Each structure stands twice: as structure tokens, then as C-alpha cells.
């Protein structure tokens, strides 16, 4: 047989075998994130001190002033803008939950948002984060829809890029909320690390969001896709896709207690911090 011809046949066989193996794999194992090149917003937390006021504002209190006591979840913390609860140190944003008596609450923490400063519809949103540990801790990196037209949650939509229960350090959740699929009825999927933990090192949490699809990633590996069809199926046709009609803003926070994840216990050590290396948004 001609050597060149034999070589071509060999290449063809290898390609065929590779293609067949990919078709037989789960999407989670083969699908990786698209290359992101068009950066439109970022915070690398390069300046020590308070977070950049041109990029972040604070939500203060226990939710009562916003008309949602306990932040809608019977949470126990009082959010502050104090350096004890939120600061930038050595290139990392640090959000710290503390056990202390403050303004009628037994815990303090912080919640940063980009509302009115940066809001965007569609794109890739990602952050590199190291998480705290302990029963009763509930850190999150998430998006909330603009409510300037007077609509309220869940009609405005919510995309939880990462939420995490401190007593389950190998697991994170990716979740969406909207009309007929909110709160305990939200659409969610977990990702569990087999040989690592989210409280011992940094991991990248991200979504890629287009008009009719939201892909969820951890460390650039796809683990969930939400589409209007998924919402229809999960809600038996009652849900409404609210992720293509408004921009969303970014939220970073560490909650304490509440209906989910439950209160801290005697083994929960304070203070506990969530460390954020960067937040980036791409078209």
C-alpha cells in the first residue's frame, strides 16, 4: 500500500474515533467556555481600601428599609459599609461576616451592587472567588434585573451565577428565578467537586448569557444550560422567560442564616470571609 495513502487512512480513522468518542460523552465533559476577548467592564481590586465607588455601592441594613425585612429570607445579618465587613487588601476584595451585636442584629456582613453604575443585558459575567466555610454562611455572586420601571422580584428576574452553603464546601449552585419559578421553586443545578473544595482555593464562576440561553460554568467547564424550553418544562408552561427584556446588575454578598441555609451552629467560626480576585464582563 502507498505510504501516503496509508497515512491518510490512519488520520481518518483517528478522527473518526475521536468524533465518535465525543458524541458519546456527556456535554459537561466536552463543552468548554468560548474564548472571551471583548472586555467591557472589570474590577481587579488593585487599590487597597474601600471598593471603588465608581463601580460599587453598598446596600445597608437588615432589609427593612428596602421593604424586605430579613432580605426576604429571614436572614440574620446587618449589612454595613464598614472596613471590618468590606475592604480591598493586596489585590483582593474581602467581604467578612462577623458575629457581633450591631443595630439590633447579631451578625454583620456586606453586600455590594453595581445598580445604577453598571448594568448589562447579555454577555459573559465571571468572577474568581475563594469561599468561606461553616454552617449558616451563604455567599453569592449574582445578577438582578433592573427595576426602574416599577416591577418587582421575581418579575425582574434573578440569575445566581454562584451560591454556596458554607456547610457543603465541595458544592455550588447555579440558579435562575422568575415568574412561577422563584424561591423554593427556582430552577437550579449543583456542581460537586470530587477532589477539591471551594473554601481552600480560588475558582472561577461564570455564565454566558444570550437572548434564549444561559450557560453556567465553574472553572470554564459547562455544567448547566437554561433555556425558555427548560423553563416551560420545569413550570409546566406557567413560567415566563424574563432574561431578554432588561439589563441586570451585579451583586456580591455574604449572608448569614435564614430559611436557607439555616442559622449558624456552635461549630461555625467567625469571622468568615469571601475573597474576590476579580469580576469581569465581556460582550
Q: Cα(224)–Cα(76) distance, rounded to whole angstroms?
A: 31
Secondary structure letter of residue 7 according to DSSP: H
**Is 158 one of the annotated active-site residues of the chain?**
yes
215, three cell numbers: 450557560
Catalytic residue selected from 75, 158, 208, 234: 158
Catalytic residue selected from 32, 42, 84, 163: 163
Residue 16 burial (C-beta neighbours within 10 Å; 0-12, 13-18, 19+): exposed
Residue 29 burial (C-beta neighbours within 10 Å; 0-12, 13-18, 19+): exposed
Q: Cα(200)–Cα(133) distance, rounded to whole angstroms?
A: 9
Secondary structure letter of residue 184 according to DSSP: G
The SS3 call for residue 257 is coil
Q: Cα(224)–Cα(218) distance, rounded to whole angstroms?
A: 10
Residue 15 burial (C-beta neighbours within 10 Å; 0-12, 13-18, 19+): exposed
Residues designated as active site: 158, 163
Amino acid at each position: 500500500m502507498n505510504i501516503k495513502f496509508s497515512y491518510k487512512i490512519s488520520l481518518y480513522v483517528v478522527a473518526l474515533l475521536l468524533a465518535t468518542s465525543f458524541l458519546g460523552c456527556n456535554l459537561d465533559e466536552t463543552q468548554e467556555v468560548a474564548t472571551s476577548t471583548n472586555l467591557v467592564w472589570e474590577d481587579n481590586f488593585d487599590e487597597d481600601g474601600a471598593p471603588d465607588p465608581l463601580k460599587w455601592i453598598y446596600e445597608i441594613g437588615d432589609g427593612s428599609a428596602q421593604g424586605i425585612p430579613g432580605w426576604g429570607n429571614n436572614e440574620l445579618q446587618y449589612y454595613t459599609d464598614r472596613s471590618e465587613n468590606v475592604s480591598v487588601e493586596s489585590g483582593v476584595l474581602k467581604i467578612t461576616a462577623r458575629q457581633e451585636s450591631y443595630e439590633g442584629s447579631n451578625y454583620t456582613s456586606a453586600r455590594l451592587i453595581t445598580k445604577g453604575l453598571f448594568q448589562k443585558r447579555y454577555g459573559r459575567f465571571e468572577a474568581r472567588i475563594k469561599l468561606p466555610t461553616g454552617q449558616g454562611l451563604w455567599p453569592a455572586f449574582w445578577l438582578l434585573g433592573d427595576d426602574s420601571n416599577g416591577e418587582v422580584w421575581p418579575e425582574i428576574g434573578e440569575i445566581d451565577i454562584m451560591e454556596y452553603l458554607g456547610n457543603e464546601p465541595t458544592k455550588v449552585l447555579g440558579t435562575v428565578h422568575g415568574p412561577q419559578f422563584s424561591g423554593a421553586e427556582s430552577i437550579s443545578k449543583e456542581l460537586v467537586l470530587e477532589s477539591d473544595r471551594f473554601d481552600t482555593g480560588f475558582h472561577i464562576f461564570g455564565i454566558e448569557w444570550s437572548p434564549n440561553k444561559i450557560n453556567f460554568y465553574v472553572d470554564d467547564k459547562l455544567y448547566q444550560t437554561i433555556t425558555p424550553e427548560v423553563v416551560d418544562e420545569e413550570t409546566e408552561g406557567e413560567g415566563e422567560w424574563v432574561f431578554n427584556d432588561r439589563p441586570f446588575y451585579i451583586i456580591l454578598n455574604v449572608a448569614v442564616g435564614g430559611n436557607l441555609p439555616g442559622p449558624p451552629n456552635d461549630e461555625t467560626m467567625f469571622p468568615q470571609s469571601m475573597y474576590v480576585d476579580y469580576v469581569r464582563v465581556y460582550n
